[in-house]
Structure 1
């Protein structure tokens, strides 16, 4: 008669086998998933010169074109034929200049406000403009181009290093990334000048009348007149895309390097006033270190990659976002970022000891990436200026991991496209099917091919024959609660509920406690004096022997 004990606790696998005689399967080690890799799923096509993307909170994605237009992509992957906004006459569209940033007001559903960053034509002043526009009252897919309210105008000394991003935090503060304005090397040292908005991360509070004020907790809110109170962080060169973590408030951004290193910078949500070191340092290496009296006061990048002029394959580290969506648990909490030239996508996670784990999750290949954005649910999208496409970022191996199960006289793996069975660390070359029949003692696992290049390793289980007596099917034996803390309640079919002999065995088959019962049904036994762990319950009656696994916790 078989012993069956299927249950699963604490991520460890417990199986049952219907074998001649009895056996136990003990947990050994947990499942191994393939390394995290992402893939790009095409989402929208034929949008030229993409610089930024943003979500307004209702499922639509808004894609910014550098020439002055914003396009709506519906949640059904359709690009609407008419632009949401077109302000081409306000834009200097050349090089790094143009319409380059977009953010929606946290109360957009009620006030219809959104904010843009663009560069003026030379004849209009050639300034960086931070403006507010408003959607029309009659069509949610059309904004009013005449509704502009200019919040901020920043004089620009040249044609490069505009930065350009805008993003709101959970408190309603608006962050602005502003480059040093160039030229190469930041000769005016704007990034270290606290009386200049260039080379800074700014943080402001916007008001309904189109004005703004610095938040009272900005690091320089109460500084002297030679320091701008809207500065939140400084010492940056060309911070193209911000990434505020919606869960923690941490700030991430890519900073495009001079000619040696491309940076990923990080600022925890409980800090401000950070000096990221440009032009004193590029990456972790000195550039003009004399401009910073004390390098210990600087915050160096969490990752720095060599530029193509320095033997690497990066040329302009765009930045990215922290994945907080529900669909891909393996991506959760990872900062995913990219580079314009290499097209690589990498992932950063906190590691032990305050360090970071920085790993490649998509190989180089697709040049032209300009933005990683998130929708209202936290799912991520990638924009590529060369292919003129928007892609959705997904886990390449999102499928649930395979499981080992018992089926009659076999170990069986859940469905996969291919199977490689291992016993005691050695491949069983003849075993390529879904099931392994009559397994001998030993440790077993399966490397299951789940398709799309995804190889998962199942939980490892150990088969140990114990010599315990056989039993009838477990349908009639009910044990609850399971796991138990103090008492265990046992119920059998009425015809079996006469005299009972109850034995609790450890997983080696050794009895650890015995009880007897004369007709009382159901029976409650005390287990509070036992060591927490897993046991086998054996109940012998006049009609047969019943077995079930039980857990004891305290």
Structure 2
């Protein structure tokens, strides 16, 4: 994550630029082109234990503009990532801050995100959240609100920044939701905290002979899941890998099943979903499980 203490910014942007306050300033990490914290890296492991930098990362391979390992920057807490095996697109969940409401002097309420990266990019934190809702630059010493950051031309002016000042334009989240009910993505429900995670993209294979593989109704769906809200949602992707109708193309997966804080998910070679459940309590659980979700019967019955 961003390696930043979030408990002195009231659930808004942790960007305290005062002397000695670097632990409370995510501009030193997530928005720093010369730092690996608050990033998703992409490298090619080599046989001798070293790594190579593939083409298409965010910065040149020579390190002249930023760390060449960086594929995505501007992350707060990227948790559970997934690669679409056909498109190569990267998906991940982003656990957001805790502000309950919009504050005109500080910025938007907290959101969790599911992100899609078609190519390398900057995904906003700690300046923007959700669909590039801008935080207000804030003088933590003088308790004074300044100006909102600009998503088209974000600039990192923090004295804790060791990289370049001018950042790439911020990319919007793919799916985003607050603590309260989401009007745009109503399937995610409201309340119960937020812990967004991204799972695999499923493609139905006519040649797959497993009798219990996911049925064709889930072909070309992204699976997302929630540790706090205990659901799995299948997201229908259109031919452009977008969500054509956010109100209709997110469907609760197995709504009659009680999940116990799902925390990791993979598709097996048999076309079944494998799921790790944390359990019902915060710790010391005796109901932690690794389960396989098999298809039996009518897919349209839920």
TM-score range, shorter chain: 0.5 to 0.7
Match of 2:134 among 250, 263, 286: 286
Give the secondary-structure state (helix, strand or coil) at the position aligned to 1:307: coil
Q: 1:336 to 1:204 in 2, by over 3 A?
A: same
In the alignment, is the contact (CA less than 8 A) between 1:331 and 1:395 conserved in 2?
no
Q: 1:393 to 1:287 in 2, by over 3 A?
A: farther
Instruction: Report how many residues are paired.
Output: 221
Unpaired runs of 5+ residues, structure 1, are 1-178, 400-452, 456-554
1:297 corresponds in structure 2 to 169
Unpaired runs of 5+ residues, structure 2, are 7-12, 15-24, 99-109, 137-147, 155-167, 183-189, 206-212, 280-286
Match of 1:188 among 26, 40, 65: 26
Determine whether 1:265 maps to 2:157. Answer: no
Determine whether 1:249 maps to 2:249. Answer: no
Shift of 1:232: 0.6
**Structure whose alpha-carbon radius of gyration is higher:** 1
Shift of 1:209: 1.1
In the alignment, is the contact (CA less than 8 A) between 2:134 and 2:150 conserved in 1?
no
Give the secondary-structure state (helix, strand or coil) at the position aligned to 2:30: helix
1:274 corresponds in structure 2 to 121
Q: 1:378 to 1:204 in 2, by over 3 A?
A: farther
Give the secondary-structure state (helix, strand or coil) at the position aligned to 1:330: helix
Determine whether 1:373 maps to 2:266. Answer: yes
Shift of 1:241: 0.7
Report the TM-score when normalising by structure 2. 0.64
1:360 corresponds in structure 2 to 252
Matches of 2:78 and 2:177, distance apart in 1: 15
Shift of 1:290: 2.0
Determine whether 1:205 maps to 2:55. Answer: no
Matches of 2:135 and 2:68, distance apart in 1: 27
CA distances 1:361-412 after superposition (whole Å, capped 9, x unpaired)? 243853421111122344321111113112223456546xxxxxxxxxxxxx
CA distances 1:498-540 after superposition (whole Å, capped 9, x unpaired)? xxxxxxxxxxxxxxxxxxxxxxxxxxxxxxxxxxxxxxxxxxx
2:290 corresponds in structure 1 to 390
Matches within 5 A, 1:121-520: 179-184=1-6, 185-186=13-14, 187-189=25-27, 190-222=29-61, 224-259=63-98, 260-268=110-118, 272-284=119-131, 285-288=133-136, 289-290=148-149, 292=151, 294=153, 297-307=169-179, 312-324=191-203, 326=205, 327=213, 328-351=215-238, 354-356=242-244, 357-363=249-255, 365-386=258-279, 387-395=287-295, 397-398=297-298, 454=301
